Amino acid sequence: MPSCSHTLALAAGVSLLALAAGAHAAEPDLKGRCLALTQAMAGHWPDASTRITEAIPQPAGPITLPPMMPGAPGTPVQLPEHCEVYGILHERAGLDGQAYAIRFHLRLPAAWNQGFFFQGGGGTNGDIGTAIGPTGSDTPPALAQGYAVVSQDSGHDNQRNMDPTHGGTSAFGFDPQARADYGNASLKPVADAAKALVAAFYGAAPRRSYFVGCSKGGEEGMVFAQQHPEEFDGILASAPGFALPRAALSQAWDVQAFAPLAKGPDGQPSFAQFATAFSDADLSLVRDAVLEACDADDGAKDGIVGTFAQCTAAKVAPSLKARTCAGAKADGCLTTAQVTAITRSYGGPRTKAGQALYSDWPWDGGVDAPGWRIWKLGVAGKVPALNVVLGGASLASIFTTPPTALPPDPQALLRWQLGLDIDQAAGLLTATSPTFPRSAWQDVSARSPDLSGLKARGAKLMVPHGASDPVFSINDTIAWWKEVDAREGGKAADFARVFPVPGMNHCAGGPATAHYDAFGALVRWVEQAQAPDRIVATAGPDTPWPGRTRPLCAYPKVARYKGAGDLNSADSFECKL
């Protein structure tokens, strides 16, 4: 039986369709319909605070997609003729004296495929997004495929709300509603507003709706899957940051592990020296140790650890020991301190009593890739250690209660992280106060194993995740999926599947077959009932084996070599337990 809110939404949808039909009759062309949207939607929004700030008819033409990783080049794509809409809702004054609002960006293509696509955010958000719907490395964006696409800033703006005395762009964490909007509260209002605009513009509601995001966008997908399962037919939640506060604590743990290896002239840990804790050659030694210990376990010694979940610290330890310097540091060996630091990092944060506070990490072959280094250590002179500049600022301002005011100075952030008592900091993730009646964990996490609403709706969830992701551990994602599967009596794969990508870093990159069309697989699952057991993926030009193909297997299966055939061909591998 539909709920009261659902009935009201349907009634509002009918009104919007009638309104849209009149707009179509008077203005049949895209330009006219686009320019008429502001007036047509006045008084007809699901949330009365919503308004359009701009509606711009756009001709077909090129645009450059932002890079997946810092320093990488953008990707040029051709966009179709469309109506570009900017909107705003929930304008308010924050408790911190800042002016806040939720801003969204919607593109409505002239040639519509009757689909709706919600583009997830990233990092601390604060950017309204491109609203073109990236779908993968080698596939056209959703807008070019005919979808109406929306993106949003999650309730704060990196320029308007930036405060250099309170963590810079993380300053919104000092306002409780802004923190809640960032975590989850902005998502459904934006989805509702965008769907109302779609119905008004086209004269019909979307036939199918999809959410696609990675990292923070993956967390947003999990919010929809767990809290608002009625919104989407299919959700692609890649590398989900569904335990963001705990992952930020893990970043501080890493900083404490690596900092003793990065001392300045005064003998104290120095942010300027952080990248020197491990040279590129040192990380390659770690990769060599991992491959020696675990590469062949999937039947093929090929530089990919297909059985990464079984590649543990105990299994890698002898190979690391064999590469440990007998005396002083020298080329071709690691110091004892380096081995201790990286082993501590892979073990994940723990209390003084040994209780896990987040997750450990699999020892995988992507440890020496730039996408691993930029987070844990940084690249000297190019990219600062993101665990410090992003992780430290986020933990201080957003993920702990009360928040701590810090300047966005890397050395200050490093000192703060090094001064943390991990046990005490863990308690701040779930702490509340009169100003913050909800904890950071309540606001900015989506790790519930309860997907009963998604299952009842008949919607599908896919979760690709790199095994060498240095930000969110795939071991945590797998542990969550096991909880879902146990709750569903071993039937979770009927509607939710995790697809590990051995060697891949955070959302992309690494010595991996990291080019794949997960969105296409999701659409086929939703619309043609073709459940994806495997997705064929390709290695990019930045890998040791450009053009190599591999099947990405739905967990718990892994790609195992058949015993014969080309090691660079997916046909030589099968998904097996």
Residues with active-site annotation: 215, 469, 506
5, burial (CB in 10 Å: exposed 0-12, middle 13-18, buried 19+): exposed
* DSSP single-letter state for residue 112: -
Phi then psi for residue 459, to 5 deg, are: -80, 165
Question: CB of 379 within 8 A of CB of 275?
Answer: yes
Q: In what order do the strands lie in the sheet with 148-152?
A: 51-58, 82-93, 99-109, 148-152, 115-119, 208-214, 234-238, 460-466, 496-501
Question: CB of 107 within 8 A of CB of 146?
Answer: no
Token duo for residue 376: 């844990």
Listing DSSP states for 242-306 in one string gives: TTHHHHHHHHHHHHHHHGGG-B-TTSSB-GGGGGGGS-HHHHHHHHHHHHHHHGGGGS--SS--T
CB-CB neighbours of 408 under 10 Å: 20
Q: Provide Rg for the chain, Cα atoms.
A: 24
- Three-state secondary-structure class, residue 212: strand
Strand runs labelled E in 115-230: 115-119, 148-152, 208-214
Task: Give the Cα-Cα-Cα angle 105, 123, 340 (nearest 5 degrees).
Answer: 165
- Kindly list the distances between the CA atom of residue 570 and the CA atoms of 118, 386, 404, 518, 544, in Å, as whole numbers in the listed order: 32, 34, 50, 16, 16
The type of residue at 212 is V
**Residue owning tokens 């879902």:** 484
> Which residues 6+ apart lie within 8 Å of 5 measured at CB?
none
CB-CB neighbours of 53 under 10 Å: 11
CA distance 182 to 428: 18
CA distance 276 to 482: 38
**Residue owning tokens 């779930």:** 430
Q: Give which of 400, 452, 407 is closest to 426, Cα–Cα.
A: 400
Which residues are bridge partners to 84 per DSSP?
Answer: 56, 107
> Which residues 6+ apart lie within 8 Å of 415 measured at CB?
none
Question: CB of 286 within 8 A of CB of 342?
Answer: yes
